[in-house]
DNA sequence: AGACTGTGGACTGTATGCAGAATTGACGCA
DNA sequence: TGCGTCAATTCTGCATACAGTCCACAGTCT
């Protein structure tokens, strides 16, 4: 047997291979199902039905539901199971307010400590996002948008901050997704992103924080009638 | 039979009786066990052992562990179970930084919209806490301290904000508890609380935010050698 | 007719059982 | 003595089984 088999194949990274438990996989699947609407908000989740649909037993499914409840995506009603959380306008406003505080903190930190390579990476994401806007590719735009915000949070280098942000972002994902449907709203968001990219390139944390704040304030307006 | 038996006994409230699932009870028990140190940080959790200790089977216990993992109190290691999360100095600093952002947001909101009764309620907690300090009752002081911070978060009237704050506060609880052991540190914290109470009484959100920020910055120093 | 009560089915909450991965400790070897 | 290997044991991950709760519908009584 040639020793080639002992070295990593060409496409392998050196990262430890992902050891996903069933529980974790279910968590991400359910998160996606909430985002894409196959689990409508307010819907009661039937454990046996969803379990069969995903091909898993109730045990890991229930564990996943507990995790998602901790993230605030669903709610546990004792004796009556779980329902997908329903957002009121006020609830969204509240969440966006917290998101704003977190992202502004991240903005200051990120601008202060980002390497040139990291900034270039974000700007690259931004350019690709703009291409998607030009092509009116809403789904790709949306994913890159989230990636940019997450990247800034990563660069800030505060794992706790990143965790909290991800939780909130997951909650808002569904609503934001339906939010940018109207063309003029989308255009507005794009303009804001241009300004934010410029502030980041200039490492102007204060300016970036202000722009992020405005962006999120406007987000509330954009998603207003998506409820 | 006298109709007296049909009315509620003297000590009964009219609130719906708390329907706690086993899962929820286990969550709070485990949280306490992490705080009081009976589950030392870094310790690997043996499901059968802890299950027997609490008198529950592994299923609800595992569900509780998933919840706590979502809160960041413990970590799930695939194939190897769960361990109580270990904090580095940097990790605590990161968490306190986020806590600061959240509490400052809450400070502004709370000062803006609190009723007189709510402010009086917090000031009352504060006075009771000072009594505990005078009596050197560390445990009661500690609980009232947490209660004050939580109360301000409640008054802010943003459930999402309150949720995030509670998660972080739960993480820091253990460390803070060992933090105030030295008398001079305790005195410093007390002085800061006096100033914060005054700012709240004056409904000066900006001042309260600044004071909270300093308080948390100092908290980091106070807990520094508790790691 | 309307309201209340009892019963059956469905679903959640908890316990237990089983298979596979991980750890420990002994043993052999250098 | 130190290190690597391998087997036994322990523990986790998942599935299944059982028990208790909720809900809807039908029957009964006023």
CATH code for the domain in which residue A151 is found: 1.20.120.530
3-state secondary structure chain B: CCHHHHCCCCCCCCCCCCCCCHHHHHHHHHHHHHHCCCCCCCCEECHHHHHHHHCCCHHHHHHHHHHHHHHCCEEEECCCEEEECCCCHHHHHHHHHHHHHHHHHHHHHHHHHCCHHHHHHHHHHHHHHHHHHHCCCHHHHHHHHHHHHHHHHHHHCCHHHHHHHHHHHHHHHHHHHHHCCCHHHHHHHHHHHHHHHHHHHCCCHHHHHHHHHHHHHHHHHHHHHHC
Closest CA to B193 of B158, B139, B152, B155: B152
In a domain, residue B215? The reply is yes
In a domain, residue B66? The reply is yes
Considering the domain architecture, whether residues A54 and A108 belong to the same structural domain is answered as no
State the pLDDT at residue A4.
Answer: 39
> What tokens does B34 get?
């992490």
- Answer whether B176's CB lies under 8 Å from B168's CB: no
Residues of B in contact with A78 (CB under 8 A): 19-21, 24
Range of the domain at A113: 89-224
CATH for B26: 1.10.10.10
Considering the domain architecture, whether residues A127 and A205 belong to the same structural domain is answered as yes
> What tokens does A56 get?
């898993």
Closest nucleotide to A78's CA, by C1' atom?
Answer: C12
Considering the domain architecture, whether residues B61 and B106 belong to the same structural domain is answered as no
Contacts of B134 (CB under 8 A, 6+ apart): none
State the pLDDT at residue B7.
Answer: 46
Considering the domain architecture, whether residues A38 and A129 belong to the same structural domain is answered as no
In a domain, residue A14? The reply is no
Considering the domain architecture, whether residues B135 and B176 belong to the same structural domain is answered as yes
State the pLDDT at residue A176.
Answer: 85
In a domain, residue A16? The reply is no
CA of B126 to C1' of C3 (A): 53
CA of A42 to C1' of D24 (A): 21
State the pLDDT at residue A167.
Answer: 95
How confident is residue B55, by pLDDT bands cut at 50, 70 and 90?
very high
- Answer whether B150's CB lies under 8 Å from B106's CB: no
Q: Is nucleic acid strand D under 7 Å from A130's C-beta?
A: no
The total number of structural domains in chain A stands at 2
In a domain, residue A3? The reply is no
- Per-residue pLDDT of B212-223, as tens digits, reads 999 999 999 888
| B158, closest residue in chain A (CA to CA) | A94
Considering the domain architecture, whether residues B111 and B186 belong to the same structural domain is answered as yes
Q: Name the 3-class secondary structure at A15.
A: coil
State the pLDDT at residue B225.
Answer: 79
- Per-residue pLDDT of A76-88, as tens digits, reads 999 999 999 999 9
State the pLDDT at residue B208.
Answer: 96
Considering the domain architecture, whether residues B149 and B45 belong to the same structural domain is answered as no
Last residue of a domain, one of A35, A61, A84: A84
- Per-residue pLDDT of B77-129, as tens digits, reads 999 999 999 999 999 999 999 999 999 999 999 999 999 999 999 999 999 99
Chain D bases closer than 7 A to any CB of the protein: 11-17, 21-23
Q: Is nucleic acid strand D under 7 Å from A5's C-beta?
A: no
State the pLDDT at residue B12.
Answer: 53
Considering the domain architecture, whether residues A202 and A115 belong to the same structural domain is answered as yes
Last residue of a domain, one of A36, A63, A84: A84
Closest CA to A190 of A222, A163, A166: A222
Q: In terms of C-beta distances under 8 Å and separation of at least 24 residues, what long-range contacts does A18-22 make, across chains too?
A: A19/B78, A19/B79, A20/B78, A21/A60, A21/B76, A21/B78, A21/B79, A22/A56, A22/A60
State the pLDDT at residue B94.
Answer: 97
Considering the domain architecture, whether residues B30 and B74 belong to the same structural domain is answered as yes
In a domain, residue A214? The reply is yes
Considering the domain architecture, whether residues A57 and A112 belong to the same structural domain is answered as no
State the pLDDT at residue B209.
Answer: 96
Backbone φ and ψ for B41, nearest 5 degrees, come out as -65, 135
How confident is residue B180, by pLDDT bands cut at 50, 70 and 90?
low
Closest nucleotide to B81's CA, by C1' atom?
Answer: D12
Considering the domain architecture, whether residues B106 and B138 belong to the same structural domain is answered as yes
Considering the domain architecture, whether residues B68 and B103 belong to the same structural domain is answered as no
Last residue of a domain, one of A61, A84, A107: A84
In a domain, residue B98? The reply is yes
Record the pTM.
Answer: 0.88
Give per-10-residue mean pLDDT for chain A (227 aa): 40 58 95 93 95 96 97 94 94 97 96 95 95 91 91 96 96 83 81 94 95 94 82
Q: Is nucleic acid strand C under 7 Å from A57's C-beta?
A: no
State the pLDDT at residue A189.
Answer: 87
In a domain, residue A117? The reply is yes
């Amino acid at each position: 047997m040639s020793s080639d088999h002992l070295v990593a194949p060409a496409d392998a990274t050196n990262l430890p291979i992902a050891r996903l438990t069933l529980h974790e996989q279910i968590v991400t699947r359910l998160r996606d199902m909430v985002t894409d609407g196959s689990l409508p908000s307010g819907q009661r989740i039937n454990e046996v039905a969803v379990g069969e649909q995903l091909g898993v037993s109730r045990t890991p499914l229930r564990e996943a539901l507990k995790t998602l409840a901790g993230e605030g995506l669903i709610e546990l009603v004792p004796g009556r199971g779980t329902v997908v959380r329903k957002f009121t306008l006020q609830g969204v406003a509240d969440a966006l307010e917290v998101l704003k505080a977190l992202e502004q903190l991240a903005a200051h930190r990120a601008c202060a400590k980002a390497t040139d390579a990291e900034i270039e990476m974000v700007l690259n994401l931004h350019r690709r996002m703009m291409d998607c806007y030009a092509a009116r590719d809403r789904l790709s735009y949306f994913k890159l948008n989230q990636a940019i915000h997450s990247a800034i949070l990563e660069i800030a280098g505060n794992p706790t901050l990143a965790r909290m942000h991800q939780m909130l972002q997951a909650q808002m994902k569904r609503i934001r997704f339906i939010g940018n449907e109207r063309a003029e709203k989308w255009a507005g968001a794009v303009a804001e992103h241009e300004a934010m990219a410029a502030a980041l390139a200039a490492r102007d944390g204060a300016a970036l924080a202000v722009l992020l704040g405005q962006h999120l304030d406007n987000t509330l307006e954009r998603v207003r009638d998506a409820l």
